[in-house]
Structure formats: C-alpha cells, structure tokens
Structure 1
Amino acid sequence: MNKPYVIGIAGSSGSGKTFFLKSFLNHFLAEQVTLISQDDYYIPANTKTKEENRHYNFDVPTAINRLAFFHDIKELFDGHTVYREEYTFNNPDAVPKILEIKPAPILIVEGLFIFHYEEVNELLDFRIFLDAEESVALARRLKRDLIERGYDHEDVMYKWNNHVVPAYNEYLAPFKPICDLVIINNTDDPKIIDDAANKISLDLKEKNSTIKII
C-alpha cells in the first residue's frame, strides 16, 4: 500500500475538535479516510501517581502510551488493520468498544501532542490547528465535563488552571506558526468547518486524482 496522505489535527481543549472531525469526515467516503486518535492511547489512571489533591494529570505527554500510538500509525502505513480498545475516560458505566481502524488513502491523526511527538509530527503532510478564545473553550469544557462526564465544578476548574492551560502553552501553542491551516472556532459556525474541509479536499484532489471528494 502506498503511504497515505496524513493530516494532523490538534487544538486546545474546547476548540471544537470533535465537531470539526465529524464535519470533515462527511466530505469523504468511508473507505477513503481513517482516523486514529491519541485519546485511545491513555495509560490507565490506576497506574499513575495522583497529586496531593488526589487528581491525575492527563495533560502531559507521558500520560499517553507514545510507543503504542506510533506503532499503530506505522501499522496503518504498512496496510495493516489496527484493533484498539476505546478509551472511556475512566467512566465505570461505559463499556469500551473495540475499535477497528482500517488503512485508507487518507489518514487523520488527532491529539493534543501530535506535533510535540517528533516521530509523529514528521509523518504529517498537512497540519491543522483548531483554537478558540479561552472563555469560549472553558465554557465548552465545563459543559462537557459537568454534564457528559459528571465531574465536579471545582475539579474541572482545578484541572483547567493547573493541567489544561499549562499543557496548551507548553506542548501545543508553540507549533501554531508551523501549521498549514489555523481555524479559530469561537462560534461553532458550520460554514467555518465546511470552508476548511473544502480547502483541504481541493488540495487532496490536486495531489491524488484517485481520491474522489464528495
């Protein structure tokens, strides 16, 4: 199998990565694109050391099984299907699925540290950076963690101030200038997402005439 065209997508917490990915994937046929997410490579929390306030820090590069993440990306490069247990963010009520990640002409690699990990970054053909104003991003984070994950407000704010923002500043923000496309997503406007997807679609069509864009 020829090397896939690799798109790296990263962004601040609350920048709308999930919304963007869903919209972006709709521009391609299922067999044309595959997605591998750093989130499914978290090292289990029960193997980590808690801080004095009993919190785990998931916003550091060592929270990810970096070797396994890179290994599976290379497996996709070599045309092999990857099977990975879905990460459920330590939700005891969630039953993790076994993800089947098939090789495809377009590979999307998504995650907070994909630019920081040199071995992953050098594989990327196109880099997308999603960003949002801090107040907007925090509001989205609160909605997600309080409603969808059932976290305590005080815990969410502690992690935001002590884990999320420092990680963004150290491991992600420095790479913003080198990205091919920067999307400021403060409104969840579908047109912003569609315009970005169309831009990349045209770029892919020019590079590979065998990829049909829908």
Structure 2
Amino acid sequence: MMNKPYVIGIAGSSGSGKTFFLKSFLNHFKSDQVTLISQDDYYIPANTKTREENRLYNFDIPTSINRADFYKDIKQLFEGQTVFREEYTFNNPDLKPQMLEIKPAPILIVEGLFIFHYTEVNELLDYRIFLDADESVALDRRLRRDLIERGYDEEDVMYKWTNHVVPSYQEYLLPHKEECDLVIINNTDDPKVIDEAANKISVELHEKNSTLNII
C-alpha cells in the first residue's frame, strides 16, 4: 500500500477556466507524479433520453453523478490501485468514449462541481482551489464550448444556463468559496493569469517533495 497521496480539490463555476488551469498545472509534473480523477466521468448515463428530455434533464445537481462510484474510485487510488473508467462524452454521438486508465500517484487531483458538497470527498482533500469568473464572462465561454465541442444549440445552452447551471452553482458550490485555500478570479482569457497560479502551487508542492516523494 502506497502512502496517502496529497489531494488537491479543484472546483469552479462553468466557464471559469478549470480545464485550462488543469492542463497548465499538470504540465509542471511528470506523469508518474500526479494523477487526475474528474467527477464528469461519473455522470449517470442519459443517452437513452430523447432530445427534448435531454434538454430538460438537469445534469447540474448532485444526484446526476454516481457519487458512490466516484468516492470508491478515489479510495481505490488511495490504496495504490489503478482505476479504469469509461470517459463520459456528454451524449455527443460524434465522440467515441475512451477507456481511461487512472494510475495512483503522490499527488491526486480531484476535480468537479460537487467535490466540496460531497462531504465524504471534501474530507479527503488537503488543499482546495476555487476558480470563478463573472457570470457574463462565464456564459460566453460556456456558449463557445457547448455549441462547438458538445453539439448543443443555443436555445438548449441558454435554457440549461438559466434553469440548471446558475442555480446549481449558487446552491452547491458558491457556499464553499470561503473555505478554499486559494480563489482564482479568471475574467480574462489571458493564459498568463492561470499559468502563474498553477506555477505557484506546483512550486509549493515541489518544496514538499520529501513528504510527497516527488522527485
């Protein structure tokens, strides 16, 4: 059994720049030093729903996630075991899901909208990062992503934003903002802002290398 990993929880509003931050952060480490497990890959499948049902279905509530499996797989990484999980493609028929191989590492990144709300997951975190952006900025990013990457139409995106995304953020994520160790406000598309934050944290972690076994 390996030593308990140093667990970093990363959450943020939709359109806050989490994906870019994660890529930047991971680039500061070798592949065997850090691993990532994402809540997004634990959505309960909704691909059997009609287009209209899919539009109305709320993916932004805690019960849309297979919470038990998410927690079980995090604990499995704690025990030094590799996790295999099929990638979730957000019901995009043009994307073929890959089988993800998530290997244990000294640093574990846990990412997702509800990671602070899920008490059993939150208790495992050693460091909490909250990414945020003004609503108008976040909506613009969400529109660009969902229209291009996920094949949604603008009416669908706006419906979900108003009825699902914003209410969920306010109820399940925003109340935890003050509990976090680091809050990053990302209202620009300047990668320097995100990269500097990622670099700062990575430097701190490399300084902990004696306890984290990071070379």
How far apart in 2 are the matches of 1:131 and 1:203?
22
- Partner amino acid, structure 2, of 1:211: I
Instruction: Give the structure-1-normalised TM-score.
Output: 0.94
Alignment RMSD: 1.8
TM-score (norm 2): 0.93
Measured in 2, the distance between the counterparts of 1:110 and 1:169 equals 18
Report how far residue 205 of structure 1 moved: 2.7
2:13 aligned with 1:4, yes or no? no
- The match for 2:171 is 170
Q: Deviations over 1:25-72 (max 9, x none)?
A: 000111000000000000011578999895110000000000000000
1:4-83 alignment runs, 5 A limit: 4-46=5-47, 55-83=56-84
Provide Cα deviations, 1:135-160, integer angstroms capped at 9, x if missing partner: 00000000111122221111111100
Give the whole-Å Cα distance in 1 for the aligned partners of 2:199 and 2:54.
46
Q: Aligned letter for 1:202?
A: V
Q: Structure 2 vs 1, CA of residues 56 and 104 (structure 1 numbering), >3 Å: closer, same or farther?
A: same
Partner of 1:211: 214
Q: What SS class does the counterpart of residue 30 from structure 1 fall into?
A: coil
Quote how far apart the aligned CAs of 1:189 are. 2.0
Q: In structure 2, do the counterparts of structure 1 residues 147 and 185 end up closer, same or farther at CA, with 3 Å as the change threshold?
A: same
CA distance in 1, matches of 2:53, 2:112: 27
1:206 Cα deviation from its structure 2 partner: 3.2
Corresponding letter in the other structure for 1:60? I
Q: Where does residue 108 of structure 1 map in the other structure?
A: 109
Tell me the distance in 1 between the aligned counterparts of 2:141 and 2:191: 16
Equivalent position of 2:95 in the other structure:
94
Query: Does the C-alpha gap of structure 1 residues 61 and 172 become closer, same or farther in structure 2, counting only changes over 3 Å?
Result: same
Structure 1 residues 98 and 186: alpha-carbon distance in aligned structure 2, compared to 1, 3 A threshold: same
**Structure 2 CA distance for aligned equivalents of residues 50 and 112 of structure 1:** 24
Contact kept in structure 1, 2:47 and 2:91, CA below 8 Å: no
Using the TM superposition, give the Cα deviation of residue 194 of structure 1 relative to its aligned residue in structure 2, in angstroms: 2.3
Give the Cα–Cα distance (whole angstroms) in 2 for the partners of residues 187 and 34 of structure 1.
27
CA positional deviation for 1:93: 2.0
* Distance (Å, rounded) in 2 between the aligned partners of 1:170 and 1:161: 14
Q: 1:109-163 CA deviation, whole Å, 9 max, x = no partner?
A: 0000000000000000000000001000000000111122221111111100000
Give the corresponding residue for 1:195: 196
Residues 25, 54 of structure 1: alpha-carbon distance in 2 compared, 3 angstrom cutoff: closer
Gaps of 5+ in 1: none
Question: Is 1:147 aligned to 2:141, yes or no?
Answer: no
Which amino acid is 2:190 matched to? D
* Identity fraction in percent: 82
Residue 37 of structure 1 aligns to which amino acid in structure 2? Answer: S
- Shift >6 Å, 4+ stretches: 47-53
